[in-house]
């Protein structure tokens, strides 16, 4: 069993895709371990995307991710990290295959609907950033 951190980004929330996306993960068979609606602070955004601090797109990324409510969740299942990334599709929607979340619902890299942890270390770090232990059931 593995846990991963997943976030529906502000564009996904704004466009009313929360139900569609949750349904995909539930139907796949992942267990929902934590779930919350929140508006990300500047500080949390900078911590979450710390690996990209020196990239040219960092200021825009932080501005976007703090621009409106997001839905944060923890999913559990066999190979959850890689499986969720597979269901999300490639980072750039032009490379994301139809049938994936980004392939079906996104057109630009700046607003690509969903985030999922990339590695077990990232998952552990991101889960701890967004959830207190008692919020994981
Ligand atoms: P995420 O962290 O959001 O799940 O996306 P990811 O792992 O697929 O991609 P990552 O390399 O971690 O990039 C994080 C987010 O930054 C934006 N980005 N923009 N303009 C660009 O070249 C560029 N590269 C990345 C994307 O919105 C990406 O989701
Ligand atoms: Mg990433």
Q: Is 47 annotated as a binding residue?
A: no
pLDDT tens digits, 57-82:
999 999 999 999 999 999 999 999 99
Q: Is 102 annotated as a binding residue?
A: yes
pLDDT at 72: 98
Q: Do the interacting molecules here have an ipTM over 0.85?
A: yes
Closest among 4, 22, 2, 47 to 113, alpha carbons compared? 22
Residue 115 CA: nearest ligand 1 atom is 4
pLDDT tens digits, 37-55:
999 999 999 999 999 999 9
Give me the catalytic one of 48, 52, 92, 115. Answer: 115
Q: What is the mean pLDDT of the chain?
A: 98
Q: How far is the CA of 16 from the centre of ligand 2 (A)?
A: 23
- Per-residue pLDDT band for 22 (boundaries 50, 70, 90) equals very high
What are the beta bridge partners of residue 75? 4, 32
Ligand closest in space to the Cα of 70: 1
């Amino acid at each position: 069993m593995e846990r991963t951190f997943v976030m529906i980004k502000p564009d996904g929330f704004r466009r009313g895709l929360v139900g569609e996306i949750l349904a995909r993960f539930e139907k796949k068979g992942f267990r929902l371990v934590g779930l919350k609606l929140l508006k990300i602070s500047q500080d949390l955004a900078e911590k979450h995307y710390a690996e990209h601090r020196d990239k040219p797109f960092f200021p825009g990324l932080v501005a976007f991710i703090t621009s409106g409510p997001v839905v944060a969740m923890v999913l559990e299942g066999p190979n959850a990290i890689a499986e969720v990334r597979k269901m999300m599709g490639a980072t750039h929607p032009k490379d994301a295959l139809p049938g994936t979340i980004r392939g079906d619902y996104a057109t630009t890299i700046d607003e690509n609907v969903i985030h999922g942890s990339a590695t077990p270390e990232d998952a552990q770090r991101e889960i701890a950033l967004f959830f207190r232990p008692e919020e994981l059931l």
